Each structure stands twice: as C-alpha cells, then as structure tokens.
C-alpha cells in the first residue's frame, strides 16, 4: 500500500495512476474515510484520557456520585464511538489495500497488453526445413507427456510428465537453483499452504483472490476442534518468502537480502477458460524457482537489483539457447503494486510467437508496508524496505520452448547441453 500522507499530498497523481491501471477505486472516498478515521481516533483517545483521569480520582476512598455518573457517561461514549470507529477502520483498510503503487517515469502508458513495449531481443526464431510438431505431439510420441490421462485424473488442465520429461523438468529446477546459490541467493523450500495475511501482504489479495485456490478443509486440532482460519495455496513462493520477514526490523548491514524459493505453484486460471486450452501453457499446477530481493528504500539501488534479476533470467535462457525478448509492461497491463515491470517471453514455434516465461517486478515499499517489513539505517531510523522479484525458471511451461525448439526431423528432441547431466542423455528419441 501507499503512505496515506503521500496519497493526501499527491492525490491527483494517485488518481491518474488508479485510472491508468484500470482500478475501480475512488481516491476522494478514501481521503474522506481517512478524515473520519482520524477524527474518531482522536475523539476516542481524548475520551480515554478523560476516563483514566476519572479512574485516578476515584482511588483512595468512596468516589462522589457525580464522579461515578461522569465515569459511566464517558465509558458509554467510548463504547458508542468504538463501534463506529471499527466500521470506518475496516472500510479505510479495504480502500488502502486497493490503492495502487505509482509507476516509474519510463513505464509506458497504455490500456492493455497491446501497448506493452519490446525493449530487447536475443536470438532468432528457430527455423526448420521440415513440418514441425507441437509439444503435445512430441510429448506423446516420446512418452514424456500424457495430457489425456492427466485430464482423466485431474480434470481440465491436468497432465502427467513421464520418463525423460520428469528428468528434464527437475533438472531445470536444479540447474536454476545451483546458479542462484552461486550468485549469493539463499535457497528455500517454501510453504505452499499459507495464511491469508501472506497473500494480502504480497498484493495477491484482495484484487487477485479469484486466481487463488482456498483450502476447503483446513483440518482439526488434536482436541477435535475444527481449524477455522482460512488457508490458501500459493501461485508462487513470493508471498511465503516475503511473509518470512513480516513484522521484522532488519539491520541495514544485512541488505540486500536475496532469496530463491522453490515451490509447487497453484493457480485457478479463472477467466481464462478456453484460452490456451490445449497443452501445458496454461495449467493449474507447476513448479517454479522464484527470485526475491529485499533492499533498502533507494530507487537507484532497487533499479540495480531489478536489472540483476532480469540478467539472471536472461542468462538462464541464453544457456538453454532459447530465443527470447524482453517486454516492458504498460500501466494498464501491470498489477496494482508494480512500480516497474518486465515480462520475458520465449520463442515457441507451434505458436509462431513468443510466450511469457518470466515476470520481473519492482514494487518499491508497496508490499513492505502491507507486511510491516522495515530496516534500521545508519542513523537509527526505521524505514520500509523495497521488494523485487522475478521468475528464475517455471516448468513445465518452459518445456514447450525446449521441446519445440530442439525437435529434430525424425521426431527426436535434443537435450540442452546444460541439462544433460540430469537427463542422462543427449537426445530423447
């Protein structure tokens, strides 16, 4: 979320960004609610002081009837205002959680993905002198992917990886993990079942709640009592990693903190029914290594870390020898919390286009304020940190690019050199 003081002092800027990000939020209503919130809070604090003063006067003997009567009146006033305050506070928090982050000066202004801007490209789309197969046909012929039985077992968007498909899938995870550890990232296997605060803190709630699976039966205590707290399945390890440092004050000497989180990921894909319906491009569950950086509140430092995350993802794709392009995301296509955002798209021959494989974001202190993650600087001041993230590798989507770009005329698939030690062979045939 943004600082309410910043919103007040820059209300027109925030209104403009809210409109550009296609967010349905009335900033004037937020400011009016804040006025009520602060006014009620001050009144309650004033009455609380009066109540304490009366309580002090009533000590050491029988208090006068008038004092007792006054004490009751003050208590009733506090009770009445407190109920009203809770309603206003709830509304205030709801509106604050919807307020978007501002964007960088170089972020393109646009309505949707059609206004995103390509900023770089590596490699040339793979050319073939034979009729190509898509990853579905290749996977079936090579007995490494079974979508038909996956649908039978799991339903829509279900799949099985088999044989060398499994080895390549897990090899990608180990390859990326090994690279990130060597670059100073702390490896983590993160919880995939999380409490609601983690998803609110990362910004996946409230606006993206329909994309998250909720656990219908969170379990029972040893006493037999049902656990009533809501639990959810994460779509990335980012919320878990950020919540790991929630409500903490970090020493500046520790920054930047660099984490790489391995997790199974779950996404409901609500609203995408019928879109990318075939194959494994858009699925309900997958594996991912996510990069997360926590740094001090300095835009130049954050931009440096942002570009580092991008370079690591590019390095992975270049070592896999997969053509890709980098897209800078416009205001209308980026999430509420994003200050600056890139997508990296990898060439997928059967689509005759690039498909998104990485998402790189700088969120400044927008997540840190929601999760109350601060650091103490050299002057002893407590400041909110900045947070950044990017995909290192996500599979099996990246397998589409590998299988299709590395296919041979005889139907076999060459294994990328960097994965051969995990797959155990040079060619899948």
State which H helix or E strand residue 391 sits in: strand 386-395
Contacts of 339 (CB under 8 A, 6+ apart): 101, 102, 103, 104, 107, 361, 362, 363, 364, 366
Q: What angle do CA 254, 337, 318 make, to 5 degrees?
A: 70
SS3 state at 394? strand
Q: Any catalytic annotation for residue 345?
A: no
Return d(Cα 253, Cα 267) in angstroms, integer.
36
Q: Which of 164, 238, 397, 404 is catalytic?
A: 397
Six token digits for residue 417: 């050199």
Phi first, then psi, for residue 159 (nearest 5°) are -160, 160
The verdict on whether 245 is a catalytic residue reads no
Burial 102-132 (b: 16+ CB within 10 A, else e): bbbeebbebeeeeebeeeeeeeeebeeeeee
Pull the structure tokens for residue 39.
């006014």
Establish how many alpha carbons lie within 13 A of residue 235's alpha carbon, considering only the half-sphere containing its beta carbon.
Answer: 20
Q: Is 397 annotated as catalytic?
A: yes
Of 237, 240, 263, 359, the catalytic one is 359
Using CA atoms, how far apart are residues 322 and 337, in angstroms rounded to an integer? Answer: 30
Catalytic residue, candidates 356, 383, 412, 420: 356
Among candidate residues 267, 310, 369, 370, the one labeled active-site is 267
What is the C-alpha separation between 266 and 268, in angstroms, rounded? 7
| Catalytic, out of 8, 121, 282, 383 | 282
So which residues are the catalytic ones? 267, 282, 356, 359, 397
């Amino acid at each position: 979320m943004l600082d309410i003081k910043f919103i007040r002092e820059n209300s027109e800027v925030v209104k403009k960004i809210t409109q550009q990000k296609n967010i349905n939020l009335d900033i004037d209503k937020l400011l009016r609610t804040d006025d009520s919130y602060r006014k009620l809070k001050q009144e309650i604090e004033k009455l609380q002081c009066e109540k304490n003063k009366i309580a002090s006067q009533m000590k050491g003997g029988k208090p006068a009837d008038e004092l007792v009567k006054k004490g009751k009146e003050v208590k009733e006033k506090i009770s009445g205002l407190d109920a009203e305050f809770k309603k206003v506070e709830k509304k205030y928090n709801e509106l604050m959680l919807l307020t978007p982050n501002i964007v960088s000066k170089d972020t393109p202004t646009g309505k949707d993905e059609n206004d995103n801007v390509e900023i770089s490209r590596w490699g040339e789309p793979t050319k073939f002198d034979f009729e190509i197969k898509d990853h579905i046909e290749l996977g079936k012929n090579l007995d490494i992917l079974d979508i038909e039985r996956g649908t039978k077992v799991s339903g829509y968007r279900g799949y099985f990886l088999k044989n060398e498909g499994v080895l390549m899938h897990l090899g990608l995870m180990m390859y990326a993990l090994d690279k990130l550890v060597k670059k100073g990232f702390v490896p983590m296997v993160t919880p995939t079942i999380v409490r609601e605060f983690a998803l609110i803190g990362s910004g996946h709630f409230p606006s993206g709640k329909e994309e998250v699976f909720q656990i219908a039966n969170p379990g029972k205590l040893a006493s037999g009592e049902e656990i009533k707290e809501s639990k959810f399945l994460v779509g990335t390890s980012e919320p878990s990693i950020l919540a790991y440092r929630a409500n903490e004050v970090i020493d500046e000497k520790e920054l930047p903190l660099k984490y790489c989180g391995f997790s199974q990921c779950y996404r409901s894909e609500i609203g995408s029914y019928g879109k990318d319906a075939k194959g494994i491009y858009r699925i309900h569950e997958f594996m991912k290594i996510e990069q997360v950086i926590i740094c001090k509140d300095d835009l130049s430092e954050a931009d440096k870390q942002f570009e580092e995350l991008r370079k690591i993802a590019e390095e992975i794709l270049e070592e896999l020898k997969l053509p890709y392009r980098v897209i800078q995301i416009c205001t209308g296509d980026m999430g509420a919390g994003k200050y600056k955002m890139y997508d990296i798209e990898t060439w997928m021959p059967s689509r005759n286009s690039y498909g998104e494989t990485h998402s790189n974001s700088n969120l400044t202190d927008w997540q840190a304020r929601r999760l109350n993650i601060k650091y103490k600087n050299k002057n002893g001041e407590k400041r909110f940190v900045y947070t950044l993230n990017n995909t290192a590798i996500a599979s099996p989507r990246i397998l589409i690019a590998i299988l299709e770009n590395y296919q041979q005329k005889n139907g076999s698939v060459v294994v990328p050199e960097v994965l051969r030690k995990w797959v155990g062979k040079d060619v899948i045939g």
